[in-house]
A and B are shown apart, each in its own frame.
Chain A
Amino acid sequence: MAKTLFDKVWDAHTVAEVEGGMSVVYIDQHLIHEVTSPQAFDGLRARSIPVFRPERTLATADHNVPTKDQHLPIKEELSRFQVQKLKDNCDEFGVTLYGLGHPKQGIVHVIGPELGITKPGMTIVCGDSHTSTHGAFGSIAFGIGTSQVEQVLATQCLILQKPKQMRITIEGELSPGVLSKDIVLFIISKLTAAGGTGFFIEYAGSAIRSLSMEARMTICNMSIEMGARGGLIAPDQTTFDYVEGREQAPQGDDWTKSLEHWKTLYTDEGASFDEEHRWDASEIEPMVTYGTNPGMGMGVTESIPEGGGSASFEKALSYMGLSEGRTLENHPVQYVFIGSCTNSRIEDLRLVADFVKGKKIASNISAMVVPGSQQVSKQAQEEGLDKILSAAGFDFREAGCSACLGMNEDKIPAGAYCVSTSNRNFEGRQGPGARTILASPLMAAATAIEGKIVDVRKYM
């Protein structure tokens, strides 16, 4: 029978069926961070059980960490305690930790791929909804709650209902200035913030296949923003080239054997999906969001739609200080944030540095670039990107989740507009009262230079 990519990976990890239709699914790789793991370790202690397969869990500290002076103790007491707790738990249970100060520390969804931990055909979970990022390698990867973190620590398995499957096909060529972030913001604006709920999404089509791994990760990363637990892309030569030679990639005979297997990971001709969508890449323009969920997005030349008097829509616009029927072009902005697990990889930093080289950010703008990991930061410095960015007026920070989620020191003040390359424009996400406009790294860079939202295509 014809199988989808998802079916193939799912079937290879099914341990047993549970009465009533759920399955026990084996998890190849578990990633943990300081925020959603302490209560799970407490659960193990309460049951007096060990971590079942400690070699399959990797920990890092990312959500709470400051992005300045990381060599100093964390100033905020609760953050410092939570990061310390992670270290204590990892020591006690024998879990490898790339903690603050470690050369491999970084945002959990950035370090997995860059270390070669994320590979095709795996099952990967983490107590973080953006775990969907790792689906870019043709893996089943999704976010879980803390009770499930405990289950994976205790048994390396989860009890899951097999999700419905959706395929989204994007064919054709992207216009200059349009990035993978625009593709995914476009898709979410069409399907809404709930349109993918209950589904796993396979992204396909020539426009997707032409993307780099970094760009594919950006798309899979935001699958959760339409409610889908995860998204995946069939591995191809681009994937294999990215993985080959990385620290934890298979070597020698193992590599040959793995490659042989990975080449079977695609959706068979004739396999069926519960839902299919198809768009042409040429329809997509640089995107911006105008509301308080990622589904409230539009092309930069479009106008905010009429909400039909819905209370939730009006609440969102009132929070954003925007009104129906207007565009966001030329809208003044005070902050620009380039970072997060969506857009903080070396390719993102290169794009931004290339764009701002020789330019200066506008005087009304405070702009920050936060690399996704120590390794990204190191590479950026080796390539001189930090100098270019600093010369243009950007604050080049140390690695972490930073202003994506208002949990560490990096926050956007109440009422201020921030064009952000992150993934969520929820009320208060970047700090109480902060107004987030999601966009691509190029759109964010152009906003920083002009001090207002512009269509980056005019520079192309």
Chain B
Amino acid sequence: MDKLNQLTSSCVPLPIEDVDTDQIIPARFLKATTRLGFGENLFRDWRYEKDGSPKKDFVLNNPTYTGSILVAGKNFGCGSSREHAAWAIKDYGFRVVVSSFFADIFKGNAMNNGILPITVTQEFLNDIFLAIESDPHCQLSVSLQEQMLEITSTGKRTSFQIDPYKKMCLLNGYDDIDYLLSVQDKIEAFESTRA
């Protein structure tokens, strides 16, 4: 897994609530058997017309907004457990998603793919959207080590929570599977107590 610690980037605003994983990557694109190439179809039906031409009013088609941080409305990633949603976001080039609330499974999937989901208050989220409105190129600065997020143009900062174990994994690029394989003897001992 890719490591993540410091990141400063402009961002892409998506002020829509309850963005579900069927919007992030529709089911008809889940037929690939590798983790690659899903970015092409990220937000497919919001991003493209039926004939494949880009929908002008969708933010990913607006060249003003770029960067590796996605800022989205509350309850981002609800719905299905498809990890393809996290793969699509990563493949498109996002490393951080900021929202006031994340759905559980998406949050876990994101962290298992080196994407940092940052939960902020609704108020701070509104501050970010306002900052982007007044300057579309405004940057966010993330420090995972410090657990700190800053809107660079206004200097507004907020700390964020992350489980210490998941933080260690992201900082070092470790997967859960590495840890689980290292405790296999404990797993076998557990099995023998239940037999």
Give chain A's interface residues, CB within 8 Å of chain B.
15-16, 18-22, 24, 26, 35-36, 38-39, 42-43, 47, 49, 52, 63-64, 78-79, 81-82, 85, 127-129, 131, 143-148, 150-151, 154-159, 161, 163, 193-194, 197-198, 224, 227, 229, 292-293, 295, 310-312, 315, 405-407, 414, 424, 426-429, 432
Bound Cα distance A147, B107 (Å): 13
A432 to chain B, nearest CB (A): 6
Flag whether B164 is at the interface (Cβ < 8 A).
yes
Is B176 close to A, CB under 8 A? yes
In the complex, the answer to whether B164 meets A19 with C-beta atoms within 8 Å is: yes
How far is it, in angstroms, between the C-alpha of A361 and the C-alpha of B55 when the chains are bound?
39
A168, chain B: closest CB distance, angstroms: 18
Residues of A within 8 A of B105 (CB): 129, 143-145, 224, 229
Give which listed residue, B23, B83, B109, B163, contacts A426 with CB less than 8 A. Answer: B23
Question: Which of A19, A39, A193 interacts with B33 by CB under 8 Å?
Answer: A39
**Which B residues touch A49, using CB under 8 A?**
181
Q: Would you call B187 and A36 a contact (CB within 8 A)?
A: no
CB pair B75–A227 under 8 Å, yes or no, is yes
Which residues of chain B are near A16, meaning CB under 8 Å? 183, 186, 190
Kindly state the interface size class of chain B when it binds its partner: 35 or more
- The answer for the CA separation of A312 and B76 in the assembled complex, in Å, is 12
Q: In the complex, what residues of A have CB within 8 A of residue B31's CB?
A: 35, 64, 78-79, 81-82, 407
Assess A159 versus B165: contact at CB under 8 Å? Given A82-B33, A144-B105, A427-B23.
yes
> Could you tell me if A18 and B165 are in contact, using CB atoms closer than 8 angstroms?
yes
B81 / chain A contacts, CB cutoff of 8 Å: 36, 127-129, 131, 143-145
Since A146-B83, A311-B16, A426-B79 are in contact, a sample of 14 more A-B pairs with Cβ atoms closer than 8 Å, ordered by chain A residue number, is A129-B79, A144-B105, A145-B82, A145-B86, A154-B181, A159-B180, A193-B18, A194-B75, A197-B102, A224-B79, A295-B18, A312-B17, A427-B23, A427-B45
A134 vs chain B, min Cβ distance (A): 14
Min C-beta distance of B164 to chain A, whole Å: 3
Q: Which residues of B contact A26 (CB under 8 A)?
A: 187, 190-191
CB pair A145–B108 under 8 Å, yes or no, is yes
- Closest A residue to B113 using CB positions: A147
What distance in Å separates the Cβ of B186 from its nearest Cβ neighbour in chain A? 5
Q: Are B183 and A150 in contact (CB under 8 A)?
A: no
* B residues near A15, Cβ cutoff 8 Å: 183, 186-187, 190
Q: A21-B163, A78-B31 are in contact. Are A426 and B187 (CB under 8 A)?
A: no
**B53 interfacial contact with A, CB 8 Å:** no
Determine the distance from Cα of A429 to Cα of B135 in the docked complex, in whole angstroms.
35
How far in angstroms is the closest Cβ of chain A from B27?
Answer: 4
Neighbouring A residues of B33 by C-beta, 8 Å: 38-39, 42, 81-82, 85
> Are B164 and A151 in contact, with the CB atoms below 8 A?
no
Which of A20, A64, A293 makes the CB contact (< 8 A) with B164?
A20
- Chain A residues near B150: list those with CB within 8 A: none
Least CB separation from B45: chain A residue? A428
